[in-house]
Amino acid sequence: MVLHLIRDQFPILNQEVNGHPLVYLDSAATSQKPLSVLQVLDDYYKSYNSNVHRGVHTLGTKATDAYELAREKVRKFINARSTEEVVFTRGTTTSLNMIAYGYARIFLKPGDEIVISIMEHHSNLIPWQQAAKATGATLKYFPLQSDGTLSLEDIKQTITEKTKIVAITHVSNVLGTVNPIKDIVRIAHEKGAIVVVDGAQAAPHFAVDVQDLDCDFYAFSGHKMLGPTGIGVLYGKKALFEKMEPVEFGGEMIDFVELYDSTWKELPWKFEAGTPIIAGAIGLAKAIDFLQSVGFDTIQKHEQQLMEYALNKLGEIKGVTIYGPREASRRSGVITFNIDGVHPHDVATVLDTEGIAIRAGHHCAQPLMKWLKVTATARASFHIYNTMEDIDRLAEGLLKSKEFFTHAF
Amino acid sequence: MPSNNLETLYRQVIMDHYKKPRNKGILEDGNVTIDMNNPTCGDRIRLTMKEENGKIADVKFEGEGCSISMASASMMTDVIKGKDTETALRLAHIFSEMIQGKEYETSEDLGDIEALSGVSKFPARIKCATLAWKAMEKGLLKNQSES
């Protein structure tokens, strides 16, 4: 598909904001959704909305088929061995909390170690802090290199025989750093630790193969990869899922319920208590179709071009500091920066008056902000629908912010 | 040239307070200390006040944040210094009405603070402007309930 045709699939982009054509550079917070995704949601609610895995009526069967077909699509998308390893959740945060509650809190003992990195999003940090407090395990951090990357040497040093869980982001939502998951998994497995990967910023941008990575758990969200909000995925190796206890109990997840005891359904349903996110799963499957019809090769190539162009263009502006690795090839999707003397909120407001949407703040990564020695930053993030012109508009907006705050007063 | 829209928000007097904040620092002999932050964006303020005989004898602030939050803190300290506690609390209420774009009482002299009225047109920035005021309110009310 040609780029402008792809862009046409996202009607939301075709509007004016504050008198200017919208430039949406906040896809790392949530991506926009193509027409095909909106259509399947509409179709589901208009023609076969029904609960799944119960009842014998026709609509119920249709909904169940669509829901389970979505699971199969996700399985293929991440190359899991079977659909037993694919659990639908509310999103990455829920997925990570499920492991912290259903695995870490059950199996960790005092003296065990959990290792994470300083670049983690709060959702891959606080669940481990809490699990460590609850079990008496020790929480440790991989240090960062000055450009915001991890070094293999540090990884080897930090993971010890006592380490039971390593939880790491695939791509940093602030620095854009792509972490060496395969190396981390190999080193962790040698020491007997399992590896949990936060894939929220990876799955939207490049092909993820959980068997190739050999990670034990992989979590991601639908809404950052052109799908609807409220749907996410937790992949887990079958043997681990079998050992794990459900975190939520109730309808849908049971086998037999007696007065004083109950048994659970088999995988993956034992982890899906209550009416599942049916429309969300169907929408996510359609988003996967869309990503695959464009092709991750095309997506990556386009985003790399945008990244290279943005790194150059923003790098040329005097007083702009860009965080994270300077080589486009070592990062994905996001470019985080600050302008000397202008607070990122003020930058975001000036850009907003120009119709440009970026994120400003701590990006749910306060420990990383501390490490960067800033309280907040501005962040622009891309997806397939962004153009070089969007980057030009961003650069013009930044020059204007700088001008406005240095000379206007 | 900056657009009119931006100038409604970033008035000259606001930028003056941002660049040359009044009452910056920590009061060594204060009797009210309040820390407050805006967890969604990372702005934070520490407000120290010396409240005696129902009056705010002195006040200082320290913090980090955007131009709106820091200018608002500077203006707030400027206007409440020397005022009695009740007036300060009434000003906090008036400020809250003004910043939400509601009708507000004009009996008090708001001075520079009125320059912040334009923030009401930028809903995403209202929380920036109210941080220091919320801290002041909380500090004074806490002191009242303790004494």
Segment A187-199, tens digit of pLDDT: 999 999 999 999 9
Q: Which residues of B touch A352 (CB under 8 A)?
A: 124
Helices and strands counted in chain A (H then E): 15, 17
CB contact under 8 A, A343 and B19: no
Domain limits at B113?
4-146
- A409·B12 Cβ contact <8 A: yes
Contacts of B136 (CB under 8 A, 6+ apart): B34, B47, B49, B59, B76, B80, B88, B92
pLDDT at B4 over 80: no
Yes or no: say if A287 and A74 are a contact pair by the CB < 8 Å rule.
no
> What part of B 22-61 touches A (C-beta under 8 Å)?
40-44
Q: What percent of chain A shows pLDDT beyond 70?
A: 99
pLDDT at A407 over 80: no
At residue B7, the pLDDT reads 82
How confident is the model over A55-97, as pLDDT tens digits?
789 999 999 999 999 999 999 999 999 999 999 999 999 999 9
**Are the beta carbons of A345 and B44 separated by less than 8 Å?**
no
Identify the closest residue of chain A to B13 by CA–CA distance.
Answer: A409
Residue with tokens 């400003």: A360
- Fold category of A3-26+295-407 in CATH: Aspartate Aminotransferase, domain 1 (3.90.1150)
Question: Taking 60 as the threshold, does the pLDDT of residue B3 lie above it?
Answer: no
**ipTM score over 0.90, yes or no:** no
Is it the case that residue A382 has pLDDT exceeding 90? yes
B103 or A124, which is more confident: A124
Among chain A residues, CA nearest to B65: A343
Q: What's the confidence (pLDDT) of residue A51?
A: 94
CATH 3.40.640.10 fits A50-292, yes or no: yes
pLDDT at B124 (0 to 100): 87
**Given this model, what pLDDT does residue A408 score?**
61
Q: Is the pLDDT of residue A111 over 80?
A: yes
| Section A10-30 average pLDDT | 97
Nearest CA in chain A to B3: A353
CB contact under 8 A, B6 and A409: no
In chain A, which residues fall in CATH 3.90.1150.10? 3-26+295-407
Look at residue A204 and tell me whether its pLDDT is greater than 60: yes
Q: What is the pLDDT of residues A132-182, one digit of tens each?
A: 999 999 999 999 999 999 999 999 999 999 999 999 999 999 999 999 999
Q: How many domains does chain B have?
A: 1
Which CATH number belongs to the domain containing residue B47 in this structure? 3.90.1010.10
Query: What is chain A's mean pLDDT, rounded?
Result: 96
Annotated catalytic residue A215? no
Q: What are B113-134's pLDDT values in tens digits?
A: 989 998 998 888 999 999 999 9
Q: How confident is the model at residue A369 (pLDDT cuts 50, 70, 90)?
A: very high
DSSP for A360-382, written as a single string: EE-TT-HHHHHHHT-S-EEEEE-
Q: Tell me the mean pLDDT in the region B31-45.
A: 90
Phi, psi of B38 (to 5 degrees): -110, 100
Q: What integer pLDDT is reported at residue B147 of this predicted model? A: 67
pTM: 0.93
Cα torsion A212, A218, A219, A221 to 10°: value is: 10
- Chain segment A307-337, per-residue pLDDT in tens: 999 999 999 999 999 999 989 999 998 999 9
Q: Which of A225, A299, A300 has its CA nearest to residue A31? A: A225
Q: Do B32 and B140 touch, CB atoms closer than 8 A? A: yes
Q: How confident is the model at residue A284 (pLDDT cuts 50, 70, 90)?
A: very high
What pLDDT digit, counting tens, does each position of A223-262 carry? Answer: 999 999 999 999 999 999 999 999 999 998 999 999 999 9
